[in-house]
């Protein structure tokens, strides 16, 4: 790996925000999922949770521009367990949901561990999810159309989260623990080798200061 590439990977990874995430509930159109992942990469989201109650493996379109390589996608079969797992890990989950009790998305403190739940293209957030989350947020709509495209809604909310986190200097420190940082750095730098080590059930080798594999 050339040193410039290694430095770039480290720089991007050091800005990742593991305590900011997105849960997509049956968002099934590849271009929407891809656009959401691409925005997550831009904002520094480390991992996204995709709930697919129809258990289809999500696919990406060219809209992702390869960003799916840089943002982990954890898939879940049930919204209930996806929400419970995140709440057990101290996340507050806010459903982007056009309900009467929804509050303005800018009134949330996104510097705290936060998950943003986005609903399906046609049916929106399910009744169950709306009940289980910690609150509902809305992007005020002043026009004739009732809702935004789901990937647009994701971008609006995530860039507010980014604004707040920039103001709180949360991009100026490394937020991943060293073990995760080094693990993911190896996978980003050496994807084929990482896959081979995984198949063999072996730990990844350490890298030296230039990103070369230590012998």
Q: Which residues bind ligand SAM (CB under 6 A)?
A: 96-98, 118-119, 121, 124-125, 138-139, 141, 147-148, 150, 153
Nearest to 186 by CA among 2, 10, 3: 10
Shortest distance, position 79 Cβ to ligand SAM, whole Å: 13
Between 108 and 153, CB nearer to ligand SAM: 153
Choose between 84 and 141: whose C-beta lies nearer to ligand SAM: 141
Closest CB to ligand SAM among 121 and 134?
Answer: 121
What span, in angstroms and rounded, lies between the C-alpha atoms of 71 and 93?
19
Residue-by-residue DSSP string for 37-60: HHHHHHHTB-EEEEE-TT-PPP--
Kindly tell me which of 56 and 123 has the beta carbon lying closer to ligand SAM: 123
* Cα–Cα dist 169/163, whole Å: 10
Q: How far is the CB of 147 from ligand SAM (least distance, A)?
A: 4
Neighbours of 55 (CB within 10 A): 9
Q: In the complex with ligand SAM, which residue's Cβ is closer, 96 or 207? A: 96
Nearest distance in Å: CB 45, ligand SAM:
16
For 166, phi and psi rounded to 5 degrees? -65, -45
Angle at CA of residue 113, ends 107 and 116, nearest 5°: 60
- Report the nearest approach of ligand SAM to the CB of residue 101 (Å): 13
**Least distance (Å) from ligand SAM to the CB of residue 135?**
12
Radius of gyration of the chain (CA): 18
Q: Which residue is nearest to ligand SAM (CB)?
A: 124
């Amino acid at each position: 790996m050339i040193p410039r590439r290694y430095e770039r990977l480290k720089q991007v990874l050091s800005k990742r925000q593991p305590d900011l995430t997105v849960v997509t509930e049956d968002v099934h159109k590849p271009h929407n999922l891809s656009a959401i992942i691409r925005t997550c990469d831009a904002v520094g989201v480390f991992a996204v949770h995709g709930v697919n109650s129809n258990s289809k493996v999500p696919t990406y379109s060219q809209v992702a521009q390869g960003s799916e390589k840089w943002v982990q996608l954890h898939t879940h079969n049930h919204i209930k367990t996806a929400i419970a797992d995140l709440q057990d890990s101290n996340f507050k989950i806010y459903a982007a949901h056009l309900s009467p009790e929804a509050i303005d998305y800018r009134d949330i403190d996104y510097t705290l561990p936060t998950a943003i739940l986005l609903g399906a293209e046609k049916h929106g957030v399910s009744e169950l999810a709306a009940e289980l989350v910690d609150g509902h947020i809305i992007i005020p709509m002043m026009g004739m159309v009732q809702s935004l495209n789901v990937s647009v809604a994701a971008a609006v909310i995530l860039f507010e989260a980014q604004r707040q986190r920039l103001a709180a200097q949360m991009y100026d420190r490394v937020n991943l623990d060293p073990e995760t940082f080094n693990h993911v750095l190896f996978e980003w730098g050496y994807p084929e080798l990482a896959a081979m080590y995984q198949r063999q059930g072996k730990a990844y080798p350490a890298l030296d200061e230039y990103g070369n594999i230590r012998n």
